[in-house]
Amino acid sequence: MSDQLKDFSSVSPSAKSLLLMKGYTNIPYAKQMAALMQGPEVFGLNFDDKDFWFWIRVMHFESRYWSVSQLLEQTDCKNILEISSGFSLRGLDLCAKDKDIHYLDTDLPEVVASKQNLIAELHLGQDAIGKYDLLPLNAMDNTAFSAVMNSFGNGPVAIVNEGLLMYLNLEEKKQLCKTIDGALQRRGGYWITADVYVRRSAEVTASLPTSQSEADFLAQHRIEENKFESYEAAAAFFKEQGFEMVSEAAPNYSTMSTLPHLISTLPEEMRASKQPPPKIQATWMLRAI
């Protein structure tokens, strides 16, 4: 790995916070994985007083997870590369259901090592009929990215991610786009990204309940700044990088396992509203053109 690569290890603790929240959903293996997670919670989230704001956050991440699965089902790709996967086990779940799947599950080395230990302790993957590989990869390392892609056999590739682009500045996004575009131009396939987030106003951001440690983390990594100005701006950005949007996931909140918890904590003033939650994120399937 090049010495010039940016060190993204400070981002890794966020994967733990995300797993702890997903542990309250029916996302495959999340409860088992979260139960074994040790050490302090980086964001200082309150897991005791589960109010409306807690459940709306958990539902967002549950919906985001299933949005990627929804778009994956629309492809015919049996070769799947997940980058910056954190503690998600989407790959193991798919490989337990489809013998033709080859799933490369990747993240930074320290996350992969922890994840491998959790998988071993829970004896997961023993029912896999597809091929599942858990590998270290810094997605910003083009040489390493190409080497991982060469692990696949013939056929198009679906590259998927959720929770990565908001940690990249504009130039880093362009660099990643160039790497993915090159891979898809050679192999064919799609890029499914759940990271089409738009910026919130300072007033909205200030009104959201946030722990000091979470606020510090978001500021350190310039999360709001790294989001897209609008969905139109996001579409224009990807077009400039050589991609076109093929499909956008349509969330079905009625199927979310967290919905009953959310309804039970819904503030009285919101109960009469028929409006869906405000759209702060989209999941897109992109194709290299």
The per-residue pLDDT for range 105-125, each reduced to its tens digit, is 999 999 999 999 999 999 999
CB 161 within 8 A of CB 83: yes
Question: Residue 276 has what pLDDT?
Answer: 67
Cα of first residue to Cα of last residue in the chain, in angstroms, is: 29
Structure tokens at 155: 């056929």
Q: How far apart are CA 120 and CA 89, in angstroms?
A: 13
Q: How far apart are CA 206 and CA 247, in angstroms?
A: 33
CB 259 within 8 A of CB 59: yes
Q: What is the DSSP string of 221-257?
A: TTHHHHSBS-HHHHHHHHHHTTEEEEEE----GGG-T
Band of residue 2 on the pLDDT scale cut at 50, 70, 90: very low
54 in any annotated domain: yes
Give yes or no for residue 225 having a pLDDT over 80.
yes
Q: Average pLDDT, stretch 59-81?
A: 96
243 in any annotated domain: yes
Q: Give me the torsion for CA of 227, 232, 233, 239, rounded to 10°.
A: 120
The domain spanning residue 151 has which CATH number?
3.40.50.150
Structure tokens at 225: 């700044």
Residue 215, CA distances (Å) to 18, 44, 172 in order: 15, 10, 23
Give the tens place of pLDDT for each residue, 156-176: 999 999 999 999 999 999 999
Range of the domain at 77: 16-268+277-288
69 in any annotated domain: yes
144 in any annotated domain: yes
Number of domains in the chain: 1
Q: Average pLDDT, stretch 63-87?
A: 97
Q: How far apart are CA 226 and CA 56, in angstroms?
A: 22
pTM for this model (two decimals) = 0.90
180 in any annotated domain: yes
Band of residue 221 on the pLDDT scale cut at 50, 70, 90: confident
149 in any annotated domain: yes
Q: How far apart are CA 86 and CA 108, in angstroms?
A: 9
Give yes or no for residue 3 having a pLDDT over 50.
no
10 in any annotated domain: no
Q: In sequence order, what are the residues at sequence separation of 6 or more whose Cβ sits closer than 8 angstroms to the Cβ of residue 213?
A: 42, 43, 44
CB 80 within 8 A of CB 157: yes
Structure tokens at 201: 């106003």
207 in any annotated domain: yes
Residue of 205, 173, 176, 191 whose CA lies nearest to 247: 191
Q: How far apart are CA 159 and CA 234, in angstroms?
A: 18
- Average pLDDT over the chain, rounded to an integer: 88
